[in-house]
């Protein structure tokens, strides 16, 4: 498992917004229902995503969330990197817990794990939200 449930919810929420782009703000409750995400949890997630620059919101009657980037401009890597927070914490793929790498990137596994990390993010960076919308459940190559 590379991606936590929470981060998968974040991706799903953005996919849902992409599907409905152009028809005005989408209510949290609609996104939650469409993507089977616990409503209260989604509130937290969307609140965070506002900081990403990909989504914005409007309050009050007829309010909701909407994308402020074209879905083909947002990559899965963008979203996941944002959700993971402080990149310094994760720049050493061998490091387990939070905080800076105590080995200063010089442990036996640094090279190996960093190569693995790059391989994964290469794939995530090549895949856009639009790709997910297009391939949703239908199997893309």
**Residues of this chain that bind DNA (CB under 7 A):** 4-7, 9, 25-29, 38-41, 43-44, 46-47, 50, 57-65, 96-98
Q: Exposed (0-12), middle (13-18) or buried (19+): which is 130, by Cβ within 10 Å?
A: middle
- Both structure tokens of 11: 């991706």
Q: Which of 8, 48, 52, 130 binds its own copies (CB under 8 A)?
A: 8
Shortest CB 21 distance to DNA, Å: 15
Binding of its own copies by 120 (CB under 8 A) = yes
Check if the beta carbon of residue 140 is closer than 8 Å to that of residue 134: yes
Q: Which of 76, 78, 79, 83 binds its own copies (CB under 8 A)?
A: 76
* Minimum CB distance to DNA smaller for 27 or for 115: 27
Q: Which residues contact 57 (CB under 8 A, 6 or more apart)?
A: 25, 46, 50, 63, 64, 65, 66
Shortest CB 66 distance to DNA, Å: 10
Site string for its own copies, 85-104 (x = CB under 8 A): -----x--xxxx--------
In eight-state DSSP terms, residue 137 is: T
């Amino acid at each position: 498992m590379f991606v936590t449930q929470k981060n998968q919810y974040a991706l799903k929420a953005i996919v849902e917004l992409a599907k409905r782009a152009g028809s005005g703000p989408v209510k949290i409750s609609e996104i939650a229902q469409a993507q089977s995400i616990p409503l209260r949890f989604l509130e937290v997630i969307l609140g965070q995503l506002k900081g990403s620059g990909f989504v914005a919101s409007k309050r009050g009657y007829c309010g909701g969330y909407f994308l402020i980037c074209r879905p083909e401009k947002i990559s899965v890597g963008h979203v996941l990197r944002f959700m993971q927070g402080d990149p310094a914490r994760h720049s050493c793929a061998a490091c387990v817990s939070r905080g800076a790498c105590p080995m200063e990137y010089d442990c036996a596994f640094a090279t190996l794990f960093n190569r693995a990390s790059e391989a994964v993010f290469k794939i995530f960076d090549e895949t856009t939200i639009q790709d997910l919308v297009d391939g949703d459940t239908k199997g893309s190559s």
